Structure 1
Amino acid sequence: MDVAMLAELPRTELVARWQVLYGVPPPKGISRRLMVGTLTYAHQAKQQGGPSAALSRRLARLIGGKPIAEVPATRTLKPGARLVREWNGKTHTVEVVEGGYIWNGTRYRSLSAVACAITGAHWSGPRFFGIGP
């Protein structure tokens, strides 16, 4: 099959081809564009042999043999904990409270909102305070 032809197929045909290729229907809500791209890649990999064995080993080593869907456990901060961070020569202390954080007497719903208030830029709150993965 010509991969350019995939983009012209109706969605029902794309779904049928996906099911034949992967043995399951495509994920609910998948866009037509993503379906076409995935089917195109699969077709090209079949024709050209896909990634080399060396690349496959390297990718496996990079993910550490863990399933890609595995999500690392998140740390939970308990109310009463204090986070301290120095920023631009000033020490900032954030208190963890039920359902949020308090910094400079103002309550915030997320640690990222606190980091943004301190720096004036969008930051990952856990990363800014050094508690991220």
Structure 2
Amino acid sequence: MTKRANRPIQPTAAPAAVVTSIPPASVLPRLAALQTADIADLKQQWRELCGTEPPPYNRKFLESRLAYRIQELAYGGLKPETVARLEALGEQLDGGNVVLRRIRAGDDRPIAGTRLVREYQGVQHTVTVLADGFEYEGRPYRSLSAIARHITGTRWNGWSFFGLKVQRGQA
């Protein structure tokens, strides 16, 4: 068993004030601005609108979730009845088994139906996340690494290739 070196704890910046509402008149301009904002700006907006650090997913993921959050803050979120129904469906899915719920919560895999987009050598490649794998160019694949290898002809970590894994030293 190896002993882990003690690392100094880095002080964290004080959390920014979380935006609690957005005027409906500013929704459309904000949604349009998401498409041209750089990734650093998207991450900053995530911190302001969600009050958490942004997840290490690709640009399209951040854009879509920020678009939803902007509309949610302007027009309101899900009705309590809808939230209750979703929770009931979740209970049916895992039977109230806390272990299964924790396993699912710890899974970093994108939700089925998510589209991963990556431009490589001037060509845009789109992968759809399936419940049991991935689909690229109409063919099923078991891993993102296999798709990345198909695209590039070399071995890649598929999570890194599609921007789902933050590399060391990046935030």
- Give the alignment's TM-score, normalised by structure 2: 0.37
Q: Which has the higher helix share?
A: 2
Whose Rg is larger?
A: 1
- Give the alignment's TM-score, normalised by structure 1: 0.46
